[in-house]
Structure 1
Amino acid sequence: MANRVKVIIIIGCGRMGSELALKLCKDHNVIVIDKDEKSFERLTKNNFVGFTKILDTNDMAALMDLNLETADMVYIVTPDDNLNFMLSYGIKKINDKINLVSRVNDPEKKAIFTKANLDFFCPIEDSVNNLVKDLERNQYE
């Protein structure tokens, strides 16, 4: 059975959000949200096929008007850990069935997300762990 096309919402269109959107738009319906219209330039330069929306990501009411519950997945990938936590926590409080993963830049802030039972990834820690694993597997000999 072929994979079903998914509806994916990405909040934050910096380097990570734009790269994620460009990869996912090949096989899925992607909506990218950011408060700065200029952030979408990375997408348009690279033939992004999807939707963009300028929205103040600090405005929870505006985010909820997007019907996030219709998405198969929501990625919150702004560079601001505090904003990512606020958005994740707020969205999950409104609808705990939403599939959502947040970016946590500062490894020391992971505990806050864990305590709130929020799914997250930590790019710095993940990268360091991959480098150490590669070294331990003698990847560089």
Structure 2
Amino acid sequence: MNNNAIIVFGSSRRHGYTGQLIDEVARRHQLRVVDVSDYQMTPYDYEQRNRDDDFLPLMREVASYSQIILASPVYWYTMSSQLKVFVDRWNDLLTIEKDLGRTLRGKSGLVISTGGDVRPERSFAECFMHSFQFMGMSYDGLLYCPTDSGRSLDL
């Protein structure tokens, strides 16, 4: 993890386990956290009717960092729907904003997550790994903390 990193967070609960974990990581490493729920973003649209929502301005900021950390709890063996909308919109970086998409090449990507299992299914990490690699980024790993209902994280 480097200090020129940003955490992009998506969850149904801002202060749930994953939120607690990213807040601690951000505090220790002095990182910026953006919660995609604070932005108006609609799902990917082949007709680009959503060009004026918050995705492209947010993505311009995210792309200014050398390391992009995606953070989500494990929901049904994959990322949260909030973060999925953000990642799906990377399609805009392959079509209408190719120059912005090219700026991701060579950057590194990490994942921070929590979940109820001792370890996440391999497919959870693979969806991030393949997404980062498709954009020309390196996948630098997953920080995962298992949780039990009713327990707080021991950070």
Q: TM-score, normalised by structure 2?
A: 0.46
Q: Which protein, 1 or 2, shows the higher relative CO under an 8 Å CA cutoff with sep ≥ 6?
A: 2
Relative to its length, the structure with more helix (as a share) is 1
| Larger CA Rg, structure 1 vs 2 | 1
Q: TM-score, normalised by structure 1?
A: 0.49
